A = this chain, B = another copy of it.
Amino acid sequence: MIPRTAGAFPVTVDVVALTVRDGALHVLLVERLLDPFRGARALPGGFVLPGESLEQAATRELAEETGVTAPASAATGEATRSGRATAVGQPEWHLEQLRTYGPQDRDPRGPVLSVAYLLLAPAFGLPEAGGDAAAAGWFPVPARDLAFDHDRILADGVERARAKLEYSPLATAFCHEEFTVAELRHVYEAVWGTHLDARNFHRKATGTPGFLEPTGHVTTDGPGRPAELYRLVPGVSPTAAVLHPPILRPAERSA
């Protein structure tokens, strides 16, 4: 019933996993153990297996190559096959499809379709290297000279994240469930590479309806006055919901 002239293509998933560490945006990269591009750094990813969904393949490859396993709430369908322990302090993440890169001229082995995913997570430590997790690590963005067309995929992922911070609550995906306004501001500053006025940001973030909700808790450690803890308003999707008015990147005001 499917026409014989139709092509059948190998399909890979590649994951652009971003986090904010030490005030800067980082991406999760692995060192390739096999040709092509052996020894080069690349986005974690691999071939979709028969019967899998794209999201299942993305989480499976992430687990196999980096040891990072999905939190229970984000796991879709079957349990991951990796028996590795969950990464330290990694309670939740946000996974969304980025875009698909055409079958031609991107893999020396022939036509391969790649569906890229964007994963945003709070900073967490990686499991000890070894086993499947060969030389996985966080690298500052921008990273260069990645395998395949991963330079472009990474750039697309970073640009998606930058744009979405403006008009969605996606920045909270980089924070743990409870966070301070300053932590949220550091996310914006790291992703955009700009400086934001702490007082105006506080007013804007706490004043935007449908964004932040105080938990009643306060921080206890660190210097200075303790900060109130907030969470994303329950029921609000980090992707779909829209911030009105948006939080605009300051640099673009002069464009």
Residues of A within 8 A of B (CB): 1-3, 5-11, 35-36, 47-55, 97, 99-100, 102-104, 109-113, 115, 163, 166-167, 209-210, 242, 244-246, 248, 252-253, 255
Ordered by A's residue number, 12 sampled pairs between the chains whose C-beta atoms are within 8 Å are: A1-B36, A2-B47, A2-B109, A2-B110, A6-B49, A7-B48, A54-B103, A99-B100, A113-B113, A163-B242, A242-B252, A244-B248
Name the residue of chain B whose CB is nearest to the CB of A110.
Answer: B2
Q: B54, A100: Cβ atoms under 8 Å?
A: yes
**CB contact under 8 A between A49 and B100, given known A2-B109, A242-B252:** no
Q: A255, B9: Cβ atoms under 8 Å?
A: no
Copy tally for this chain in the complex stands at 2
Q: B49, A5: Cβ atoms under 8 Å?
A: yes
Chain A facing B: main interface SS: loop
**CB contact under 8 A between A54 and B102, given known A167-B166, A252-B242, A255-B210:** yes
